[in-house]
Structure 1
């Protein structure tokens, strides 16, 4: 996995956004794959909404079983300011308030969000992205791929339950997908990720982005560091933890 050279890391611009809760309307609902529901949200309160980073997250505010409300982190999958459309993808893993809400919501129903609080925009200099994650990371990975400029390449390494959960991304760049198939019951195991990394060669100016179960993400990061990858060319996030699956909307 080691590159032939270690160039100057790309700049990262951190941008703060004004905090605001918004009440929107569900305009469309689509079963994207067996385990992913796509919602298109619209509303006048999207005026001033900003999401500048592919892995931004907003708070989706949904009812809980006790009649209160809970917040879940959701990636803004796509935002079209001109059309006034905000698209979010919600993992349907069979449990959890966000998944329950996404299964039952209908066009015309209200949807409440907060944020994003900020964006981290990785600047120029990256010519190749290695995007590693599980199904919880698919919205951010898909957005990154679809926003690639021409001439930039991405390799994605994503674990999903089966071929029916694979997604196709349209991009101006070039993209090579690698899919790992394993049941949701094995979502907290790292073996298949690590095996898929064997023999992987990265070109110079490769940025490694990792988002998965927290322990898996740390293990993958440690492997890249052991192989000599510059940590300044990496970003690692634990999107959920095996010990608290529901709170993180995990598989």
Structure 2
């Protein structure tokens, strides 16, 4: 894995609630897209007021670590909206809100600012017999939905449902009719679980299908259980991706405050897996719910 130093080339407002930042530069030499529509990167932000001063970690066999004596760079995960290798450019779309490292940074972003970017990872993985798909997301999943639509082969029927905070967040999407709903997104309770069950009700013929859902992590616990336990879908037929947690700093503090034995129990679930990853994730999320997390 490589962590690249990238520089802001352009900043483009998309809607009242989302801004696109185009990154470029010699530091992106060797950045290779997976070609998967929902691929994501970790962005490393400046740690102080100098927007060009990055304390980039160095890669190790286990991931990365901050060099001794340097501050830890704030890090957040974002979807890659587009990659143009010929011009060494990548686009990243940022949801705008009134708090947080990334939103604060993008509010003042301008050409010449610097970010660290690691190599991308993609999650969308439809089966070979794909004939139709359902893509459902809140606003944070909108960039991935747009790119997935651009990459969808001709002949694959696609239904898209997106939950936005309001009409001001609507974007033009390629190739298919979109059902826009309003709510959730940190302003109201998420309706993602309701939207999924309405789009794929019990009794749906799932032959040739694939379901991809992304958005608020806690709301997606119900979605995962529904797809796996109620509909009985194998892991190859769906992907549920948690993008954000409401009040994430508080959540992390509460997790770290758990007794050592409880945190060890949660880690042990992953160290000694029983069943496939989706079943394991359901057990892990159920335990978190029991703990009030």
TM-score band (shorter)?
Answer: 0.7 to 0.9
Q: 2: CA distance between counterparts of 1:183 and 1:243?
A: 14
Q: Secondary structure at the match of 2:106?
A: helix
TM-score normalised by L of structure 2: 0.68
**Mind listing any 5+ residue stretches in structure 2 that lack a counterpart?**
51-70, 253-293
Task: Provide closer, same or farther for how the CA distance between residues 247 and 127 of structure 1 changes in structure 2, counting only shifts above 3 A.
Answer: farther
Q: Deviations over 1:154-175 (max 9, x none)?
A: 212211111111111224xxx2
Post-superposition shift, 1:87?
A: 0.6
Structure with higher strand content: 1
| TM-superposition CA deviations, 1:182-207 (whole Å, max 9, x none) | 164445x2446505742645663111
User: What residue in structure 1 maps to residue 220 of structure 2?
Assistant: 217
Aligned twin of 2:16: 34
Select which of 35, 38, 51 maps to 1:55: 38
More helix as a share of residues: 2
Question: Do the aligned partners of residues 90 and 213 (structure 1) sit closer, same or farther apart at CA in structure 2, a change above 3 Å counting?
Answer: same
Between the two structures, name the one with larger relative contact order (CA 8 Å, sep ≥ 6).
Answer: 1
Q: Report the alpha carbon displacement of residue 109 of structure 1 after superposing the two structures with TM.
A: 2.4
Count, aligned residues:
225
Q: TM-score, normalised by structure 1?
A: 0.79
CA contact (8 A) 2:190 2:216 kept: no
Residue number in structure 2 paired with 1:148: 152
Equivalent position of 1:164 in the other structure: 168
CA 202–135 in structure 1, closer or farther in 2 if over 3 Å, else same: farther
Calculate the aligned-residue CA RMSD, in Å.
2.6
Measure how far apart 1:106 and its partner are. Answer: 0.6
- Against the structure 1 CA distance between its residues 217 and 65, is the aligned structure 2 distance closer, same or farther, given a 3 Å change threshold? farther
Does the aligned pair in 2 maintain the 1:146–1:170 contact within 8 Å?
Answer: yes
For structure 1, the residue ranges without an aligned partner over 5 or more in a row are 1-18
Mapping of 1:80-229 within 5 angstroms?
80-116=84-120, 118-120=121-123, 122=125, 124-171=128-175, 175-182=176-183, 184-187=185-188, 189-191=189-191, 193-194=193-194, 197-198=197-198, 200=200, 201=204, 204-225=207-228, 226-229=230-233
